[in-house]
Amino acid sequence: MTPAMDEFTLLRAIHVASVVHWIGGVWFVTFVVLPAVRRFAEPARRVAFFEEVEGRFAFQARLSTLAAGISGFWLTWRMEAFDRFLDPGRFWFMHAMVALWAIFTLVLFVLEPLLLHRWFSARAARDPEGTMALVLRLHRVLSSAALVTVAGAVLGAHGGL
């Protein structure tokens, strides 16, 4: 007989599923969508397609980052683990998770709706090739940071660090 699922197990499942959806989506955009879009012959088509895909994923990413943030905070509270933030050498992955989450949350909830969408459209109208190259570079930087953070968090959560 299996024991009833406890709150901690449910929170961890929500947290991991949220991160998988959020970061997996970012990786898909970075390593599949953007390289494919750059092969489109017409620069205007590249920009329009990317905006459509990114726009559809942005809503989902907002939900995932919100769920990851809430569940991460709740897990830290339930585990009484806030003191880990006082030891950045040993628990650097805690700082990395919060920093990565804060960057994406700022971009998704503040910068993109208020500034980035207009900036992207204006810059893409002037220089579609350069804009797509810049977007790809920024996505690669964020994807690399996410890879290091996820790997560190898994290792840290399982005593590997």
Which tens digits make up the pLDDT trace of 4-31?
678 889 999 999 999 999 999 999 999 9
Would you give the DSSP letter of residue 62?
H
Residue 78: partners with Cβ closer than 8 Å, 6 or more residues away? 7, 8, 11
On average, the pLDDT of the chain sits at: 92
Q: What is the pLDDT of residues 44-57, one digit of tens each?
A: 788 888 888 888 89
- Position 1 scores a pLDDT of 45
Q: What's the whole-number mean pLDDT along residues 149-158?
A: 93
Q: What is the pLDDT of residues 78-135, one digit of tens each?
A: 999 999 999 999 999 999 999 999 999 999 999 999 999 899 999 999 998 899 899 9
Q: Do 96 and 152 contact (CB within 8 A), yes or no?
A: yes
